[in-house]
């Protein structure tokens, strides 16, 4: 039996995976994840997110700018404030899939020496 060889282009593979890697980087901050998880419940103003997430207003605003630039949240003016909402409802499915994977692995990624909490000098809090 002959084994057919497939010409594998690692550079093309990396280019193809780059958007997915960027998406996961955008979700890689606990503060941004907390904001998105709150927005799953419905639209919110910055003041609502500050109360729900417990981060400073300036931090929430920076995270929202990132999430908006990534196309994950959208906003609309309401009086002097802005109302933020999920721009991609598929994030709800993504969160569900992540919870399923975490449960199936017993949260092993949390203690992974490469990806776990506190890795690379990150603040474990």
Q: Give a yes or no: residue 9 inside a domain.
A: no
Q: Cα–Cα distances in Å, from 67 out to 20, 73, 84, 113, 122? A: 15, 6, 10, 28, 20
pLDDT tens per residue, range 15-25: 999 999 999 99
What is the span of the domain harbouring residue 52? 21-119
pLDDT tens per residue, range 84-107: 999 999 999 999 999 999 999 998
Q: Give a yes or no: residue 4 inside a domain.
A: no
Q: Give a yes or no: residue 16 inside a domain.
A: no
pTM of the full structure: 0.80
Q: Give a yes or no: residue 5 inside a domain.
A: no
Q: Give a yes or no: residue 55 inside a domain.
A: yes
Q: Give a yes or no: residue 1 inside a domain.
A: no
Number of domains in the chain: 1
Q: Give a yes or no: residue 64 inside a domain.
A: yes
- Domain containing residue 104: CATH number: 1.10.10.10
Q: What are phi and psi of 123, to 5 degrees?
A: -75, 120
């Amino acid at each position: 039996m002959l084994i057919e060889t497939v010409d594998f282009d690692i550079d093309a593979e990396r280019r193809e995976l780059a958007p997915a890697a960027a998406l996961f980087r955008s979700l890689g901050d606990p503060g941004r994840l907390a904001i998105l998880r709150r927005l799953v419940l419905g639209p919110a103003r910055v003041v609502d997110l500050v109360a729900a997430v417990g981060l400073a207003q300036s931090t929430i605003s920076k995270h929202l700018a990132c999430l908006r630039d990534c196309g994950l949240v959208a906003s609309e003016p309401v009086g002097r404030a802005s109302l933020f909402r999920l721009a991609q409802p598929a994030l709800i499915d993504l969160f569900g899939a992540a919870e399923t994977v975490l449960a199936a692995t017993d949260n092993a990624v949390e203690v992974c020496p490469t990806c776990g909490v506190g890795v690379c000098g990150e603040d474990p809090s």
